[in-house]
Structure 1
Amino acid sequence: MTIEARQAGETAKEYAYRIIKENIITLELEPGSTLNDMEISQMIGISRTPVREAIIKLKEESDIIEIFPQRGMRIALIDTDIVQEVRFLRMTLEKAMVELACDMAQEADFVWLEENLTLQEFYLKNNLIQKLLELDNALHRKLFTICRKDLIYRMSQGLSIHYDRVRNMEATAIHGHKTVEDHRNLVKAIRDKDKELAKRIMEEHLDRWLMNEQTLRNEYPQYFKS
């Protein structure tokens, strides 16, 4: 597991939740691997109770963790039906966001987006995949912020963990230049107020994992539910 420092004001439960979730998304906690709350509590330096509470929260909001009474816990295998369901949710929300952003984005927003894109291109060039994914997430969140829909974004994040895992796999196994190119084209369409083009780019962008599904299955067969 990758352990980051506890943030100011972060409760023990929030800290455990963030660390476990991030390690699931980055596949440090691999699909199908066992999960031991006592070991995690020792690794991140907090008591077992908030770790257990964080695990239960992840289980309840996304079923990303499977709990077997008296037998232990494990990280759920990748279920493509669930990934498709989450993709549908994101597609519905984010196509609506880019359409709204065409009307609502201000010059300061475009300055932020251009800075983000420049950094994405830098991290892609230097093969810093995790940094690239962080910026990818930040750009998608920014669309909700531009449209003043931050609450909707936060509400959707529980289920997104299923989709984020395959995005991480895709970025690792397949060079991410298409992702950055999509983002660049999307920002241009928003600036040009071309709503139909922006929606089409977002749809193609969120569908890329489908085009690469067999490649991912071949690369990581042990991660997928049959």
Structure 2
Amino acid sequence: MRASDRAYDVLKDDILQWRLAPGTVLGETEQSERLGISRTPLREAITRLAAEGLVDTQRGRAGVVTDVSPANLTELFELREALETQAARLAARRRKAEVFLALRDDFLAAPAGLDRDTAGYYDLVGRLDAAVDAAMANRFLLASLTGLRSHLARARRLAQDNPARLAESVAEHLLIVQAILDRDEMLAAQATAVHLRRSLANLLDTAGSPGASDLSSTKGTP
């Protein structure tokens, strides 16, 4: 693996996991020493991260980890709604029933384990995302969603687990899955939009709560 690729992978993971918090200055000397590389591959990595919107290079050559603000979150979810509603439409049009039948069964069983296995529920949501990605069969849309998800992964760490919200989320995902199974493109898109708007409202609400500042212990509510 090239030094610039390795630096990119490490820095991106550090940013997404909040080991490099918003506002962190990526000093060339410090980061080069930390990563064990020269400045040239470091600059290449930072340029890639800047193109993805994770680093701001306008304040100086070193780069600064970009902020996650309520305004940014709203913009992210506006784009997310546009992309994911279309993905849901295409998934409803092209899906393989057996995949979504299995997901429906798992979402039906999910409420029983929410109080003890939230990580398992997040994995289930990830499986639904992957199933929709595969079913929609559109590589250009997938590329756009993949870029967006880096920002969403970072934003979710601002939120706290909310049992009531998790229960609502299960019902919302079930409606999406059923609409895809029924090949109901309009309902799949509308159900996705409702889920995303409620998720944004929850995220904006919990991100401002006192406990949200403890980023090491938050997981994010879907």
TM interval, shorter chain, is: 0.7 to 0.9
Q: Who is 1:69 aligned against?
A: 60
Amino acid at match of 2:178: K
Shift of 1:104: 0.8
What is the CA–CA distance in structure 2 between the aligned matches of 1:197 and 1:190, rounded to whole Å? 8
Shift of 1:26: 2.7
Within a 5 Å distance, the mapping from 1:124-139 to structure 2 comes to 125-128=116-119, 133=122, 136-139=125-128
Q: TM-score, normalised by structure 2?
A: 0.72
Amino acid at match of 1:145: A
1:206 equivalent to 2:196? Answer yes
Q: Is 2:103–2:177's contact at 8 Å kept on the other side of the alignment?
A: yes
1:195 equivalent to 2:194? Answer no
Q: Is 2:108–2:174's contact at 8 Å kept on the other side of the alignment?
A: no
What is the CA–CA distance in structure 2 between the aligned matches of 1:50 and 1:115, rounded to whole Å? 47
Shift of 1:43: 4.5
Identify which range, 48-57 or 35-44, moves more after superposition. Answer: 35-44
Secondary structure of 1:207's match?
A: helix
Q: Is 2:21–2:65's contact at 8 Å kept on the other side of the alignment?
A: yes
Shift of 1:76: 1.7
Shift of 1:17: 2.5
1:101 equivalent to 2:91? Answer yes
Q: Deviations over 1:146-183 (max 9, x none)?
A: 1111232213433443333222322x453562444433
Identify which range, 17-26 or 105-114, moves more after superposition. Answer: 105-114
Q: Is 2:158–2:206's contact at 8 Å kept on the other side of the alignment?
A: no
Amino acid at match of 1:214: D
Identify which range, 49-58 or 212-221, moves more after superposition. Answer: 212-221
What is the CA–CA distance in structure 1 between the aligned matches of 2:170 and 2:5, rounded to whole Å? 31
1:153 equivalent to 2:145? Answer no
Within a 5 Å distance, the mapping from 1:23-102 to structure 2 comes to 23-62=14-53, 64-67=54-57, 68-69=59-60, 72-102=62-92
1:218 equivalent to 2:209? Answer yes
**Cα gap change, 1:158/1:98 in structure 2, threshold over 3 Å: closer, same or farther?**
closer
Amino acid at match of 1:57: R
What is the CA–CA distance in structure 2 between the aligned matches of 1:174 and 1:111, rounded to whole Å? 27
Secondary structure of 1:49's match?
A: helix
What is the CA–CA distance in structure 2 between the aligned matches of 1:18 and 1:115, rounded to whole Å? 36
What is the CA–CA distance in structure 1 between the aligned matches of 2:72 and 2:7, rounded to whole Å? 24
Q: Who is 1:7 aligned against?
A: none
Q: Who is 2:218 aligned against?
A: none
Q: Is 2:76–2:148's contact at 8 Å kept on the other side of the alignment?
A: yes
Number of equivalenced pairs: 209
Q: Who is 1:174 aligned against?
A: 162
What is the CA–CA distance in structure 1 between the aligned matches of 2:37 and 2:84, rounded to whole Å? 37
RMSD between superposed Cα atoms in Å: 3.6
**Cα gap change, 1:61/1:117 in structure 2, threshold over 3 Å: closer, same or farther?**
same
Q: TM-score, normalised by structure 1?
A: 0.71
Shift of 1:19: 3.0
Q: Is 2:83–2:145's contact at 8 Å kept on the other side of the alignment?
A: no
1:165 equivalent to 2:190? Answer no
**Cα gap change, 1:155/1:101 in structure 2, threshold over 3 Å: closer, same or farther?**
closer
**Cα gap change, 1:51/1:216 in structure 2, threshold over 3 Å: closer, same or farther?**
same
Shift of 1:221: 6.7
Secondary structure of 1:51's match?
A: helix
